[in-house]
Every structure is written in structure tokens, then in C-alpha cells.
Chain A
């Protein structure tokens, strides 16, 4: 008696239930996360995100190491920054990550034709932007928050962390909220600029210039005697100021501005940038 086995069933119609738009957005989000981090792509695409993320973690690792290996008062308060002060040490890698990696999430799809194909699925322009925004904000929020969370865990292990579980969770929540809020603003600005060009390099350079030039210009304006509110034109500075304000503090640059002004500035940047992205994408041709 002979036996046989089917090795390939060949093409067959799909008769199961189709997943809905939420699953499509989730698929897109996960794909965008992988794309931003260079996962599933040639090694050269992973190098930059890995370096930047490593640099973002470096200050937290150093401070945790100092806290664990040496007596508490040996280096003074300089070696034990606040959670929001830690962000100032990681700020450069965060901005570099925003400028160099985030445009990849939007520009690449328009250049390689995927955006047009996406619109022939259950994705709409709005759902597409939602998926990309969630992916980018989450990745950047992790890059911003994870070093501070590591620092929190390190201080807790060393015995100088928050003094109760409730405070510990509150601190964790504050770090996470800071990361999310800062990331949302930076990604909004990044997407707004990325929506204006099909060249990733152009978007990256424009973002880098904005992050570099805006603080110089706003400082020059305020130091020439103009209102301190001009500082609100620096999107990265305004974004970073969210964190000290959340901890009831102010950074040296923004001490003259009230919480209301700072939060209003953040909300306006957020709304303007995301509205601009939506406007630009309404005009992008589908086919």
C-alpha cells in the first residue's frame, strides 16, 4: 500500500473572518516601530538607532553606577540629578534621534510607493497617520523615559529612591508622562517637516537646523530685551520644559515664564504641527 502526502495546498480562498481596521493600524504601527529601529532590515539601518539609544542610556548608567558603587555624599548633588535634570544629559541623543530617525517613518513610505498601496487597503489617511504617530511617539517616549526609569530603579536599589510605593509609582508615572508629552511634541514637529519633502535627508537636516537654530535665535531675542515669551518659539526647548514643570520646578532658561505660558506653548506647538501634518496628507495623491 502506498501513502501520499500533500506538500502544498496551493492557492485557496480565505473564508475566515477578516480583521478590521484596528488590526490594520496595529500591523502598521508594529511595522513602523521595526522600520524606525531598523529591525528586519540590513545591518546598516540598525547602527544609528543603536548608537543613539546607547548614548541616551549612558548618563543614567553612569549615575546609577556612581550611586551603587560609591557612598551617597561622595560626589555631592552633581552626581545625583533630579529625574528631569537627567533628561538634560540625554537631550542631545534624543534630538538627534528625532531628527535622523523619525523622518524615516513617514518619508520612506512616500518614496517607495507603500503609502499609495496602504490607501488601497482598509487604511485611510487618518488611520495611516495614527499608526505612524503611535509608533514614533512610543519609540521616542521609550528613548526619553527608559534611561530615567533605569535611574529610578537604580536609586531604589541603592536605597535613595522614592520613600513609598505610592511615591515610587507616582515618579514612574511622571517619567512616563514626561516622555510621552515630549515625544508627542517632537514627533509632531518632525512629522510636519517630513510631510513637506520626499527626501529623508532634507527632512533630517531641516529638523536638525530647527533644533539648533531656534534656541540661538530665541535666546538672542530675549537677551536683546524682548519678551521672554519669544522662548516659546523654540519647539525643542518648550518640549523639554514639560518635565521640570511636571515636578514643580523650572529650568534656568524658562524661569521667567509661568506654567500657563509653557503649557499653552506646548499645546499650540502640538496642535499646529499635527494639524499641518493632517493638512499636508490630505493633499498627497493616492494613486
Chain B
């Protein structure tokens, strides 16, 4: 089932287009919504929640139009906002229970589930602590817990690792992956950190200044592509060694793109390219720092890199 579908979706603020006729589908699984600040991510989330009506086009979430069925759609969505502003004097348990009730979970059930999800996110022992006494990492976990407690069909997580150190970020990403895979909850993870999207997402929707840059499975958008990449350790004046290696490779019919001491080779089988690279380096007494398959990364989607 498609979790979210947008068709020519447009949002205009005066003359500015926050979303410019974007069309894409978000299938089940974990989908990364990536883009820089101002790309249109938060606008898209507000449309998905039915908090804003599109200027043009259409959007459906879980098969319903959120502009027409806002409360109904929202009761099936768990949302965790980017900002970490929370009611400081409220215990985590009360906060999670309160929002679960507002999302349609009966009182006693909400109480049970609040405890369960707080244990799930690793705050079982801390669940009666006031939110104001919690660290940034703990508050991010509470935000995830309140989103999950209502047993949503779709989770919208806006920058869930914001403010976390690397260890906490790894733990948070693992939690999100666990929620999605073990509990079959579709997740849309809005983030400007492409590396974390590459780590846990199955699909990617990339936005840039309101336009759709790319959309599809992560396997299609990133991964190994034709050619190899090599990096030289070149201390020679004016990159003489590098230029010699490049000349030799080009003379043997290899296409070479040069970016400093990084050479991108293409035009033949990987194994052939690797042999030629090795031979040319040895021939000119150059030193090789790294040789690897050529990979396409999410950054390349935004930087006009290899498609």
C-alpha cells in the first residue's frame, strides 16, 4: 500500500513556491525525506497532516485526502516535531499518555501503552521524570515514544536525531529501524543528514527549493555504478606523477575524470580498469592511497553528480 502519494503538489506563499508541482509515491517501509533547510520538507509534512491545503495538485495519505479528512488521517499518524520544546514540568509518562489519548487511544489502554513505549525507547526507569530534567537524547526518545504510543500506521519524524551525539544518533536510528521493521509502521524520516538516511531508509524523496530532485528506492539512487575511483598520494611538484598516470590511462583508451588527486576511471570492465590503474601507477612510480568501486551517494543527487 502507498503510504503517501503526491500528484502535481504545489504550495505557494505569495510569489514563492514552497512546493512546485511535485509528483511522487511513498511506499511502505522507511522513506527518507531529504533536502536542505527551505527545501519544502516541513511544508510537505504539514500537508500530510492536513494542517495546510495545497495551492494545486493533490496529496493522499493512507488512501485519504488529509485536507478533507484531517482529524481521521491524523489519528493514524504519529508525528514527532523537530523542535525539542516540551512541557518541562510534565513527567514523560503523562506526556505520552496524554497525546495517546488525544490520538484516540482509550484512557486505560493509553496508560499501558505509554509505559510500554517508554520502556521500548529505553526510558522505562525514567518515565516518571519531568521532561525538563531530561537530556536532549532522552527528550528525543520521548518524542519518538509519544509518536509511537498511539499505534500509528504512519510515523512522520522531523529531524529525530537533531542535537544528538554520534552514539545517541546510532541508537535513535536503530530504534527507528526497529519500530518500522518489527512493528510494521511506515516511517517518513525528514532529515538534512543524508548519511543517516542512507543508513536506514528503503526509499528516498529528495527535495531542493520546492522541486523534486529524485525519488525512488535507495538501491536505485545510490550504490555502485560503472567505473572505479582511485586516489593518489602525490607529493610531486605540479602533480607530475598524477599527470603521467592520467596520460598513460587515456592513451590506453580509459576515460579519466580528474578532481585533484582523485581520478574517476570508466569505459571498461571494473577488473580491467583496476589492472590498468595498478600498472600505470607502478610504471610512473606513483603511490596509490585508495582504489575502490565507483559509488553514487545521496549528496550527488543535489550536486549534479553521477546519476
Could you say which of A13-21, A52-60, A77-85, A268-276 contacts chain B?
A13-21
B120 contacts A11, C-beta separation under 8 Å = yes
Hey, what's the 0/1 contact readout for B156-190 against A, CB within 8 Å counting as 1? 00100000000000000000000000111000000
Partner of B74, one of A19, A108, A120: A120
Q: Which of B59-85 contact A (CB under 8 A)?
A: 70-72, 74-75, 77, 79, 81, 83, 85
Verify if A28 is at the interface (C-beta below 8 Å from B). Answer: yes
Verify if A124 is at the interface (C-beta below 8 Å from B). Answer: yes
A112 contacts B88, C-beta separation under 8 Å = yes
Verify if A41 is at the interface (C-beta below 8 Å from B). Answer: yes
Verify if A119 is at the interface (C-beta below 8 Å from B). Answer: yes
- Residues of chain B contacted by A18 (CB below 8 angstroms): 75, 103-105
> Smallest distance from the beta carbon of B68 to chain A beta carbons, Å?
13
Verify if A258 is at the interface (C-beta below 8 Å from B). Answer: no
Verify if B119 is at the interface (C-beta below 8 Å from A). Answer: yes
- In the complex, residue of chain B having the shortest beta-carbon distance to the beta carbon of A108: B87
> Smallest distance from the beta carbon of B230 to chain A beta carbons, Å?
46
> Smallest distance from the beta carbon of B190 to chain A beta carbons, Å?
11
A42 contacts B102, C-beta separation under 8 Å = no
A114 contacts B116, C-beta separation under 8 Å = no
Verify if B89 is at the interface (C-beta below 8 Å from A). Answer: yes
Partner of A19, one of B99, B105, B146, B183: B105
Verify if A156 is at the interface (C-beta below 8 Å from B). Answer: no
B71 contacts A27, C-beta separation under 8 Å = no
- Residues of chain B contacted by A217 (CB below 8 angstroms): none
Given known A-B contacts A14-B109, A287-B46, A45 and B51 have beta carbons under 8 A apart: no
Verify if A122 is at the interface (C-beta below 8 Å from B). Answer: yes
A11 contacts B46, C-beta separation under 8 Å = no
- Residues of chain A contacted by B81 (CB below 8 angstroms): 113, 116-117, 120, 287
Partner of A120, one of B77, B101, B117: B77
> Smallest distance from the beta carbon of A135 to chain B beta carbons, Å?
14
Verify if A263 is at the interface (C-beta below 8 Å from B). Answer: no
Given known A-B contacts A14-B150, A120-B49, A8 and B119 have beta carbons under 8 A apart: yes
B45 contacts A287, C-beta separation under 8 Å = yes
- In the complex, residue of chain A having the shortest beta-carbon distance to the beta carbon of B178: A11
A42 contacts B89, C-beta separation under 8 Å = yes
Bound together, the chains give a CA A118 to CA B99 distance in angstroms of 8
Bound together, the chains give a CA A232 to CA B117 distance in angstroms of 54
A10 contacts B103, C-beta separation under 8 Å = no
Given known A-B contacts A27-B98, A121-B99, A124-B70, A9 and B116 have beta carbons under 8 A apart: yes
- Residues of chain B contacted by A23 (CB below 8 angstroms): 101, 104, 106
Verify if B258 is at the interface (C-beta below 8 Å from A). Answer: no
Bound together, the chains give a CA A42 to CA B94 distance in angstroms of 14
B151 contacts A122, C-beta separation under 8 Å = no
Verify if A71 is at the interface (C-beta below 8 Å from B). Answer: no
Given known A-B contacts A28-B102, A118-B102, A121-B75, A14 and B86 have beta carbons under 8 A apart: no
Verify if B242 is at the interface (C-beta below 8 Å from A). Answer: no
Hey, what's the 0/1 contact readout for B120-147 against A, CB within 8 Å counting as 1? 1000000000000000000000000010
Verify if A286 is at the interface (C-beta below 8 Å from B). Answer: yes
- Residues of chain A contacted by B86 (CB below 8 angstroms): 112-113
Verify if B42 is at the interface (C-beta below 8 Å from A). Answer: yes
- In the complex, residue of chain A having the shortest beta-carbon distance to the beta carbon of B150: A14
- In the complex, residue of chain A having the shortest beta-carbon distance to the beta carbon of B101: A27
Verify if A24 is at the interface (C-beta below 8 Å from B). Answer: yes
- Residues of chain B contacted by A123 (CB below 8 angstroms): 71, 102
- In the complex, residue of chain B having the shortest beta-carbon distance to the beta carbon of A19: B104
- Residues of chain B contacted by A113 (CB below 8 angstroms): 81, 83, 85-87
A16 contacts B103, C-beta separation under 8 Å = no
Verify if B205 is at the interface (C-beta below 8 Å from A). Answer: no
* 7 examples of A-B residue contacts, CB within 8 angstroms: A14-B151, A19-B101, A45-B89, A120-B49, A121-B75, A122-B102, A286-B52
Chain A residues within CB distance 8 Å of chain B: 8-14, 16, 18-21, 23-24, 27-28, 31, 40-42, 45, 108, 111-114, 116-124, 286-287
